[in-house]
Copies of this chain bind each other. A is one copy, B any other.
Amino acid sequence: MELTSLLNDSTCHIVLVVMDGLGGFADAQFDSELEQATTPNLDRLAAEGVVGLTLPAGAGITAGSGPGHLALFGYDPTEYELGRGVLSATGVEFDLRPGDIAARGNLCTLDDEGNVTDRRAGRIADDRAQALTDALNDGVKVDGVEAMFRHISSHRVLAVLRGEGLDHRIADLDPQKTGVPPKDPAPLDPAAEHTADVLRDVDAAIREVLSGQDGADALLLRGFDTHHDLPSFADRYALRAATVAIYPMYRGVAKLCGMDTLPRPSGLGEQIATMRDRWDDYDYFFLHHKKTDEAGHDGKRDEKVAAIEAMDAVIPDIVALEPDVIAVTGDHSSPTQLSGHSWHPVPTLLWGPHVGRDNVTSFGERACAGGLLGQRPTQQLMPIMLASAGKLEKYGA
């Protein structure tokens, strides 16, 4: 049975609040960051709604931000794989065209024998990396293909190839360790042999340009991918959807799903003001909060707790808009104990007049284990939100 066959054309108001990397875990020393945070407003939503735990990509799987968000948007993250190259392109708002090949590159240093000495070129400064990227755009000329570069941040660079007959099924050139040379371009499918040949020339041209510059000697490319046409929110859910995300990558993923990207807000207050201003123009708003994940990556417990509390403080402003349903969750876990993404289930709450209630009265990982939402794939949130907002008709007589 297709969900689309059950959709009606009613309007509604769904708000998805994503605290990036929200989930954590308790151990001998600590509660989870969410459990430690003082969150009276989220606790109120938990008490008045239902809670549970969500798994973006399956038991034990640590999800990246791409699959994490696709799952939140109701797309099967194993069916719609977004390579790092495409996510990097969306992240700098590069307008990838059908047939383009995108990869994420690390500016790196090599020794005299061509072995990698630092995969991040000493975490090269932004202005130097930008100068190197400009030099690459000026100097990398290869027959039959256009090579384009965009600086992302520090050592991170987007590389895009545009030309006839390119295929993205190419193994990473990045060896992921030092003391060895970058890998030679290798096709993962016979159809990508031409692309591998082109890449060999591009790689040589990159090194030639960088040899005349200070700061880096090569670009380690990985995550080759191509433009994807994802089915849109309008087609899949009959929703007019918009994002008030701040960071380019999340705006980019939302755009891939056909959401409107509203003018970039500067912080939580502006994100909510933008939602309020455009409230009647959309059925669905995606509100993304990045600071929880940043603090998780840096292993900074106090900062992650503070980022959660900052979101808690604006919850009443979202409730005041009187949405049909609010979901508060994360795209994956980012426990400060691990300084990075993890597989731990993500605490999740749903709130709204027809959502129902359970006996849980606070929002935290351990409390969520007893909630009515149960433990489920993240992807299942979307149909429950649609149902709670009155968008789904009965299945079968």
Contacts and interface: CB of A to CB of B under 8 A. Distances in A.
A380 interface: yes
A397 B392 CA distance: 32
A81 B287 CA distance: 38
B343 A396 contact: no
Contact of A397 (B66, B374, B376): B66
A288 interface: no
Contacts of A168: none
A324 to B, nearest CB: 13
Interface string A357-397: 11100000111011110111000111111111000111111
A338 interface: yes
B356 A26 contact: yes
Nearest to A357: B26
A327 B231 CA distance: 41
A185 interface: no
Interface string A255-275: 000000000000000000000
Contact of A396 (B81, B387, B395): B81
Interface stretch (A55-63, A107-115, A159-167): A55-63
A281 to B, nearest CB: 25
Nearest to A370: B370
Contact of A25 (B82, B84, B87, B354): B354
A48 interface: yes
A53 interface: yes
Contact of A395 (B48, B64, B370): B64
Given A337-B354, A370-B370, A61 B27 contact: no
Interface string A62-87: 11111110000000011001111001
Q: Which of A83, A88, A104, A344 has the most CB of B within 10 A?
A: A344
Considering residues A84, A338, A340, A342, which has the most beta carbons from chain B within 10 angstroms of its beta carbon?
A342
A341 interface: yes
Nearest to A359: B366
A60 B355 CA distance: 10
8 contacts: A32-B356, A58-B380, A59-B381, A60-B384, A61-B392, A66-B396, A104-B397, A375-B375
Interface of A: 1, 6, 25-28, 32, 48, 53, 57-68, 77-78, 81-84, 87-88, 104, 223, 337-338, 340-345, 353-359, 365-367, 369-372, 374-376, 380-388, 392-397
